[in-house]
Amino acid sequence: MLNRRTILALAMLIWGSSAGVAAAEHERDYEFRGTHLALSIERFMGVDYTDFEGPEKGSVSARFLLNASEPVPTTLGRFGFDVFIRRFSVGLAGGVTSKGVGVIAPRVGYMFGLTPTVGLWLRGGGFYADAGPKYVGVTGEVLLNWFPWSHFALHIGPTIDLAFANERNPDYVSFGIAEFGMTAWL
């Protein structure tokens, strides 16, 4: 009878040999061959934890369908577009509210294929936000993309924004615990 180590080694060998097939199946023409454009609605729903510099404790906020009552400008819902050159992406996102709050965020990213319908899109970049006080900072996102149709993806994932203000306003860190969005691939 086989011992546990032998069974585990066989299972790992079988899994490892099939992982390459799954990654290859995820390479669809509209995603990763040639140059393509992706249009997104980002951060339109989510749960965030924001911690301002100073003695105050952080706070948790949630939003549903682009409400504009977020405590910081980097959690605003925004539109984005990215140009894909194979799996590498270069893009820009931005959004404004009726109260004159705005954010613009250039970024770069890379898409990993996990299964034929699931991908992991890692993005990082900077941002400039004007909410009365002006902020600059860095942002990062880890988005799990699900492709229910060939040119459309829903994404969810954590985000982080490190914002730096001038001397009169506090810096902050915002963690998007779960951010939702959608992307159309052209």
Q: Over the stretch 2-57, which tens digit does the pLDDT of each residue have?
A: 566 666 666 665 655 544 444 444 455 445 667 889 999 998 888 888 888 877 77
User: What number is the average pLDDT over the span 121-127?
Assistant: 95
First vs last C-alpha separation in the chain: 54
Q: Over the stretch 72-120, which tens digit does the pLDDT of each residue have?
A: 888 888 899 999 988 899 999 998 876 788 899 999 999 888 888 888 9
Phi, psi of 149 (to 5 degrees): -130, 165
pLDDT for res 9: 66
d(CA 16, CA 145): 23
pLDDT for res 162: 92
Q: Over the stretch 54-79, which tens digit does the pLDDT of each residue have?
A: 777 777 777 776 655 566 888 888 89
Q: Which fold has domain 28-185?
A: Porin (2.40.160)
Helices (H), 26-149: 29-32
The predicted model scores a pTM of 0.77
